Amino acid sequence: MVIKELINFKLFKSLKMKQIIIFIAFLALSTSTFAQDNKANNIDNSNIALQGYSPVSYADLGLAQKGLKEFKSEHQKVVYYFTSAEQKAAFDKNPEKYLPKYGGFCAFGVYAGAKFRVDPNKFISKDGTYFLYLNNLELDAKQLWLNEKDHNKLVSVADKNWKKLSKTHN
C-alpha cells in the first residue's frame, strides 16, 4: 500500500511539475508578445491606442475626436475606437492607412531619438498621415516641430530613428 501511494505521489508531483513548466512557458511567451506590441505602439496595459481617440478622425478629418466604446476594432492586438460605424468600417477595410505615425509616440521625440507619450489634442495631419506630440507644462513638442520649418527633413530623420526605436522599450 505504501509503495502504491508513493508511486501515485510521484506521478502527481511529476504532473504538477509539467503543468508548472507549461504555465511558465505560456506566461513568458505571452509577456514577450505583449512587450513586442508595446515597443512599437504607444499603449498601456489596456492595449488602447491613441488614448481612445479615433485614428480615422485624425487621418480623414484632421480632427482629434474621442471614439465611442460601441465602435471599436482590434488590429495586431491593439484596440482602436471610432466615432461611428462608418469610421470603424473604413478602418477595418484598410487599417494600415489609419495607423498613427511612429506608433503614436511623439514625432518630435522620435526625431530627437526618444519615445514620449503624447497629448492626443496636439497633432499635425498632413497628406493622410498624422503626427502626435508631447505637450506638458515644460514643453510643446508640436511647436518645436513647427519652429524647425522643414517638415520633410524632420520626417526623414524621425523615420530613420524609428527603425531602431520601434524595437526598444521606452
pLDDT band at 126 (very low <50, low <70, confident <90, very high): very high
Within this chain, do residues 108 and 74 fall inside the same structural domain, yes or no? Answer: no
Q: Is the model's pLDDT at 11 over the cut of 80?
A: no
Residue 76 phi, psi (nearest 5): 50, 45
Q: What is the pLDDT of residue 38?
A: 64
Residues 114 and 91 in one domain: no
Q: Rounded to whole angstroms, what are the CA distances from 138 to 4, 89, 134, 141, 154? A: 72, 39, 10, 10, 21
26 is a domain residue: no
pLDDT of residue 43: 82
- pLDDT for res 22: 42
Does pLDDT of 132 surpass 60? yes
H helical segments located in the chain: 2-40, 55-56, 85-93, 95-98, 107-112, 141-148, 151-165
Q: Is residue 38 part of a domain?
A: no
pLDDT higher than 70, residue 129: yes
Domain-located, residue 62: yes
Q: Is residue 76 part of a domain?
A: yes
Is there a single domain that holds both residue 93 and residue 133?
no
Task: Express each pLDDT in 43-101 by its tens digit.
Answer: 878 899 999 999 999 999 999 999 999 999 999 999 999 999 999 999 999 999 999 99
pLDDT digits (tens, 9 = 90+) for 97-113: 999 999 999 999 999 99
Q: Say how many domains are in the chain.
A: 2
Domain match, 120 and 88 both? no
Question: For residue 165, is it within any domain?
Answer: yes
Residue 31 placed within a domain:
no
Statement to judge: residues 75 and 95 lie in one domain: yes
Q: Are residues 170 and 105 in the same domain?
A: yes
84 and 118 both lie in a single domain: no
Q: What is the pLDDT of residues 18-48, one digit of tens each?
A: 544 443 333 333 333 444 356 788 887 889 9
Same-domain pairing of 122 and 165: yes
What the block records as the C-alpha cell of 129 is 498621415
Q: Which domain holds residue 117?
A: 101-170
Asked if 107 and 57 sit in the same domain, the reply is: no
The reply to whether 15 falls in a domain is no
Residues 6+ apart with CB under 8 A from 56: 82, 83, 87, 90, 91, 98
